[in-house]
A and B are shown apart, each in its own frame.
Chain A
Amino acid sequence: MQVSEEETVRILRKDVLLLFLLAACAVSVFVLTKTVAAREGQIESRVAGIWYQDGERQIKAGQVDDAIDSFRKATGIDRENPRYVLALADALALGDHNIEAEQALQRLRDTDPTNAEINLRLARLAAKRGQIPEAVLYYHTSLDGMWKGPDIATKRRDVRLELIRFLIAGHDHDRALSELLVLDSELPEKADAHVQAAKLYLLEGDEQRALNDFKEAVRLDPLNDQALSGAGETEFQLGDRRKARQYLEQAVARGDASPQTRDLLQQTEQQGRADKQGEPR
């Protein structure tokens, strides 16, 4: 009895010791593997970076296919780096490999669905492929998404402007107008921004709102020749020749020498003379 128990205890002790050694071995191998993985990760990042820089250089040189190849190598090595995937997607879109570009962006979107940059690129791709509902959806996700870096409001406004132009080009005037109204409400106190909005209203055929924006631009910057000529043109279209003449004269005085403005000014002057001659003495 005593011998059996001793034997059992000896074997069990040996088992425990071996298990402990194996566990220690597993921990050591884990640390080693993790270290190797980290070191390899650094090497891979460096190599991927070299391919990325090559791709950038090739894009600038107009070698789109070579750039795609380089960006592919970069993303093949460092698949988690969104900068490389975005560069690849841009190059693919540039090279008209739209399906692959979309797949690359979709993969990124899966990991970061609210990323505004990714959604914007997807919107542009969808727009390029004539997929209007998808494009609008991605534009909106981009507008509502997370932007990084400084001057987020400007970036968001630029996207909305891009969306409005896309809708106008697709003759979707109702949606374009509602987007314009949103844009209008978000415009900063800058003349150029109001001029931009006013021009889009004109494209939409909404002269009254365009005039409001031109006037606001003139208020913010009375010397802005574009705002002055735009206000003049719009007043002319709305039939107020007098005010149109005032604005156009100021525009020309501030240096707007475009033939269109001068022509319109001439027309208002002639109209004014004719009106004077027609008045009872």
Chain B
Amino acid sequence: MEGTTVLGRLTWQAATVARLATETPRVTTIAFEVPGWPGHQAGQHLDVRLTAEDGYQAERSYSIASAPDGTRIELTVVRIDDGEVSPYLTGDLRPGDQIELRGPVGGYFVWEPDDGGPLLLVGGGSGVAPLMAMVRLRAAADSAVDTRLLVSSRSWEEIIYRDELERLAGDGLTVVHTLTASAPPGWAGYARRVDAEMLAQVGPGPAERPRVYVCGPTPFVEAVAEALVGLGHQPQAIKTERFGPTGS
């Protein structure tokens, strides 16, 4: 039924690098200016296309990390050393360079302020990126929705958006970190993989019927989603996005 095509084709668009920011030693956020950007919802992703001088092309999908903001979009990219696209994006791009994008894509793993809450957001590593779009949108919209963001990182140094999250916390947003590989001296927070006990403590519990979004590597998402179902959360209320290892 081609009649479901309510939007036009998502065409490739030129995106100009506006800014590069180092998040952690392996993670870079790239801000693009995309004149024809149609806007997006928090949680959506897009496709990136690189073309070599001989015409060879490689495409990858990335979550959008920024809240809707006109023609500006941000991607947070982890450098995979033997990857094909991420070393170029994180190591070779300079402000002013152009690449091609098309999107936004995906209408399921999304949140709008009107959807309300409470929200339970659980991110593993760079899986925090689409959740950050939601947290940023929540702040931009002055939403007071009760939001718990649980971020699992290997170490303190590898927490993505650490400073910004610290600034955004409060006004109904609770940010909780857990460190799975190493913790700094005196660390009083969680220092283990996300488990049912941790999820129950971070809340909101099933009785509050939160909207739950989980994003991260496959084993992380499998474990978290399983634990949430075990705690009594409705499977239909748990939206997941899994990634890697894909050699990207």
Q: Do A and B come from one complex?
A: no
Which residues of B come within 8 Å of A, CB atoms? none
